[in-house]
Amino acid sequence: MHRLKDKVAIVAGAGSIAEGWSNGKATGVLFAREGAKLFAVDRNMMAAQETCDIITSGPSSQVPRLLNQPERTRFHQRQSKLPSCTRQRLQLI
């Protein structure tokens, strides 16, 4: 246990859009239980909060941080400032 102590994990899609466990939720909870400092990122803050509640109610002493994913327009504005070789590899999902 605590294989990720003193590590930082950013989990995109940390919430779940339906009941049960998504890959992001499971990953976030597992990483926190292994000692990682977690940044839970999701466009649905209530779903990410649910994941954070699971983490803080369990044996982990970690307190996850919530982050909201950027809006599409902000992403495209930032993407336009990147070098063309990098822009070609990026896609908005």
pTM value is 0.66
For the record, the structure tokens of 5 come out as 């102590």
Q: How far apart are the first and last CA of the chain?
A: 34
**Domain map of the chain by residue range?**
8-89
Percent of the chain with pLDDT over 70: 62
Q: What is the pLDDT of residues 72-87, one digit of tens each?
A: 556 556 656 656 555 4
Burial of 3 (0-12, 13-18, 19+ CB in 10 A): exposed
Percent of the chain with pLDDT over 90: 13
What span, in angstroms and rounded, lies between the C-alpha atoms of 88 and 47?
31
Q: What is the pLDDT of residues 49-73, one digit of tens each?
A: 898 888 888 776 566 676 665 555 5
